[in-house]
Structure 1
Amino acid sequence: MDQTHTRALEALQPFVHLANSNSATSPRFIANIVTNATSSPHTYVFAELLETPTIQALGSPDTPAEYHGYLKLLEIFAWGTWQEYQATPNLPKLSSEQTLKLRLLSLLTLSTTTKPLTYSALMTALSLPTTSDLESLVTTAIYASLITARLSPASDPPTVKVTAVAPLRDVQPQSLPKMITLLTEWETRCGDVVSDLEAEIARVKNNAAKRRVKEQEYQTLLEEAVKQRAENAGNSGAGSGRGGKKGVFGRLGAAAAAAGTGRNKREFSADDVDEDDGFWDINTDGMDIDEGAGSSSRAAGSRHSKRILGKKS
C-alpha cells in the first residue's frame, strides 16, 4: 500500500511542474491541468497540486466564472466523494476516466467509514445501477492495490469485506485542527502511560533491592547458626569422649575386681542362655560340668546349680 502512495505522488509531479511553470498563465491552461491530472489512471493524491498558486488563483474573483468550478472539482478529487460532487452545482462535467477515478476514491472513503459495507449501500453512494457494475468497480480497486477486499454476494445481505485500504486520500485543511487536538490528547495519554510504567519499574526495582538485603541478612544468620551449632557439637563430643573413656576404664576395673574373687568355675543355668541351643534345661540330679581340672577343690563348701544335658525331642 505504501508503494501505491509513492507511485501516486510520482504520477502527480508532471502536473505540479506544469502548474508552476511560466506557461501557466491563462485560466484555460490551468483548467486543462486539473482535467488531465484527475483523468490520469495513476494519480490518486492531489494536495500538492492544490497548494500551487496558479491552481488557487482559479478561485479569484478576477478569474472567469466558467473556471471557478475546477478548483472545487480538484478539492473533491482530493478528499471528497461522488455524492459530494453530485450535490455541488456548477461543476465541470466528468469524463468516463474522471467518473471511474472519483468512484474509486469514494470507495476508499466508504471502506473506512461505512460498516458493514453492503452492496446496497455502495450502489446508492456510488450511483451504480447493477450489482455487476459494483463488483466490476471493486475488482478494479483490488487489482489497482487500492484496497484488499473480498466479495461476498451469497451472504445476507451481500457485502464487500475490506481488510486494508491504501492511504491515498488527502486530508482536508479544515480537519487539521481536530486532528492536531486528537494527536495531542493521544500524546498526553501515552505520556501518562509511560510515567505509570516508569513508576512501576522503580517500585519493582526497590522491592527487589529490599528482598536482596533480606536474603543477605538471612544467609548471614544461617551461616552463623550453622557455625555455632558446629562449635557446640564439637565441644559436647569432646566432653562425651572423656566421659566415655572413664566409663570404659571403670568397667574394666570392675571386671578385674570380680576376677580376684577366686571364682573360676563357670555355672550354667536356664537364665544364662537367651537363645535356644537345642537342649532341655532340667533342674534334676545329673552331671556337673566344670570349667577345668582342680575345680572341685575350689568349689568345696559351695553348691551350684547343675545342668543335665539332654536332647530335645
Structure 2
Amino acid sequence: MNQAHTRAMEALQPFVHLATSTNAASPKFISNLITNATSSPNTYVFGELLETPAIQALRSTDTPAEFQGHLTLLEIFAWGTWQDYQATPNLPPLNAEQTQKLRLLSLLSFSTTINPITYTSLMDALSITAPAELESLVTAAIYSSLITARLSPATSPPTVNVTSVAPLRDVKPQSLSTMIMTLTQWETRCGDVIGDIEAEIANIKANAAKRRANEHARSVLFEKTLADFNNNNHEGGTGSRKHGAWQKGVGGPGGNVGNKREFNADDFDEDDGFWEQAPEGFDGYSGVGSRMDIDEGSGFARMGMGTTGSRHAKRVLGKKS
C-alpha cells in the first residue's frame, strides 16, 4: 500500500471510531464529525467513514434539511471535485481548511486525466484568480506527497507537469460497473497477448528442434562419408602401389615414357636404308661414328628432310659394320 494512502487511513481512524462507538448519535453530532474529518490536514480518503451506519442515517427523511447536505458534502470529498461542489445546491459552506482540502483532492483527479495541465484550465476548475495562488496550491500538494510535479511558469502557456499521483481518491459506487467492464477488457487483452507469446515460444522451440535434427543428420552423414572414404583408401592402397611400380618399370631407368627411342643397328639383320637413300652431299654423318642421335624435329625440317613444323621421336641410328 502507498505510504500516503496508509497515512490517510490512519488519520481517518479516530473519526471512524467516533462514528461507530456513539449510540443514537444526533444529526448535529454527525454533521460536526463530517466537518472535522474533512478539515483535518491528513485525511484524504473517506470511504470507510461513509460506510458507517451513523453517517448513512443522514439519508433518513427525518433528518433536518440543514444537516442533509453534509452527507452529500462528504461524498464530494470522497470522489468529487471542486466543480461538483460548485454545481450542487444546498451544501454547507466550507471553511478555509475544507476549501484547501477539496482543491487538493480536485487537483489529484485532474492530474489523472490531463497532463500537462495549463495554469488557465486549473485556475478555472478550482476558482483561483492569481497564478501565485495556484503555484502555492501545487507546491503544497507536492510537499504533502499527493503528486510529483514540476511547475513551468515560463512556458507558453504556463503548465503543471505531473509525473505521479498518489492513490487517495475513493471509488464512486456508480462507477464500479464501468471499472469492472474496463478491467474485463484489459484482462481479455492480456489473455490475447499471453496466447500470442506462448504461440511464439512454441514456434521458436519447434524451429530449434528442427535445426538440431538437421545438424545431427548432417553430422551423421559426414561421419559416414568419412568412414567410407577411409575404408576405400585402405583397400585400394596395395593395388595403387603395384600399378605405380609397373608404370615406373615400363619407362626404363627413369620410369617415364618419353619421345626418345634408342635403337642399336646391330640388333637388326637388314639395313634400314638410310645411308643409301641419304640426300646428295650429306656426308657430315660419316665421321660421326656408328651411333648418333638424330632429332627428327625442327632440325630436319630446316634441312628439307622432314615435314615443316612436325615433331618426331629421336632415334639412335647406326651403320652396320
The TM tier, using the shorter chain, reads: 0.7 to 0.9
Please name the residue that 2:92 is paired with.
Answer: 92
Which amino acid letter does the alignment assign opposite residue 113 of structure 1? T
Please name the residue that 1:294 is paired with.
Answer: none
Q: Does 1:150 align with 2:143?
A: no
Instruction: State the secondary structure of the residue aligned to 1:125.
Output: helix
Distance in 2 of aligned mates of 1:81 and 1:231: 92
Shift of 1:247: 4.4
Instruction: State the secondary structure of the residue aligned to 1:134.
Output: helix
Instruction: State the secondary structure of the residue aligned to 1:150.
Output: strand
Shift of 1:99: 0.6
Shift of 1:100: 0.6
Distance in 2 of aligned mates of 1:138 and 1:22: 38
Instruction: Specify every segment of 5 or more residues in structure 2 that has no aligned partner in the other structure, as ranges.
Output: 256-263, 265-283, 294-321
Distance in 2 of aligned mates of 1:116 and 1:194: 33
Distance in 1 of aligned mates of 2:192 and 2:160: 39
Distance in 2 of aligned mates of 1:115 and 1:249: 101
Distance in 2 of aligned mates of 1:148 and 1:123: 19
* TM-score (normalised: structure 1): 0.78
Please name the residue that 1:273 is paired with.
Answer: none
Shift of 1:141: 0.8
- Alignment CA distance shift 1:140-1:245 (3 Å): same
Q: Does 1:131 align with 2:112?
A: no
- Alignment CA distance shift 1:156-1:304 (3 Å): closer
- Alignment CA distance shift 1:303-1:184 (3 Å): closer
* 1:267-312 CA distance string (max 9 Å, x none): xxxxxxxxxxxxxxxx99xxx9xxxxxxxxxx9xx4779xxxxxxx
Distance in 2 of aligned mates of 1:254 and 1:99: 121
Contact 1:18 1:24 in 2 (8 A): no
Shift of 1:122: 1.0
Please name the residue that 1:269 is paired with.
Answer: none
Q: Does 1:119 align with 2:127?
A: no
CA RMSD between the two structures: 2.9
- Alignment CA distance shift 1:243-1:132 (3 Å): same
Please name the residue that 1:27 is paired with.
Answer: 27
Which amino acid letter does the alignment assign opposite residue 119 of structure 1? Y
Superposition pairs for residues 240-279 of structure 1, below 5 Å? 240-248=240-248
Shift of 1:104: 0.7
Contact 2:116 2:162 in 1 (8 A): no
Please name the residue that 1:51 is paired with.
Answer: 51
Distance in 1 of aligned mates of 2:147 and 2:162: 7
Contact 1:24 1:30 in 2 (8 A): no
Please name the residue that 1:310 is paired with.
Answer: none
- Alignment CA distance shift 1:37-1:248 (3 Å): same
- Alignment CA distance shift 1:35-1:254 (3 Å): closer
Please name the residue that 1:208 is paired with.
Answer: 208
Q: Does 1:4 align with 2:4?
A: yes
Q: Does 1:238 align with 2:219?
A: no
Q: Which stretch shows the higher mean deviation, 90-99 or 15-24?
A: 15-24
Please name the residue that 1:220 is paired with.
Answer: 220
**Runs ≥4 in structure 1, deviation > 3 angstroms?**
245-255, 302-305
- Alignment CA distance shift 1:85-1:253 (3 Å): closer
Shift of 1:11: 0.6
Superposition pairs for residues 161-240 of structure 1, below 5 Å? 161-240=161-240
Shift of 1:36: 0.7
Distance in 2 of aligned mates of 1:304 and 1:121: 124
Residues paired across the two proteins, number: 270
- Alignment CA distance shift 1:233-1:86 (3 Å): same
Distance in 2 of aligned mates of 1:85 and 1:218: 79
Contact 1:118 1:157 in 2 (8 A): yes
Identity %: 62
Which amino acid letter does the alignment assign opposite residue 50 of structure 1? L
Greater helix fraction, Structure 1 or Structure 2? 1
Instruction: State the secondary structure of the residue aligned to 2:11.
Output: helix
Distance in 1 of aligned mates of 2:202 and 2:228: 39
Which amino acid letter does the alignment assign opposite residue 224 of structure 1? K
- Alignment CA distance shift 1:241-1:23 (3 Å): same
Which amino acid letter does the alignment assign opposite residue 93 of structure 1? P
Q: Which stretch shows the higher mean deviation, 221-230 or 75-84?
A: 221-230
Shift of 1:124: 1.0
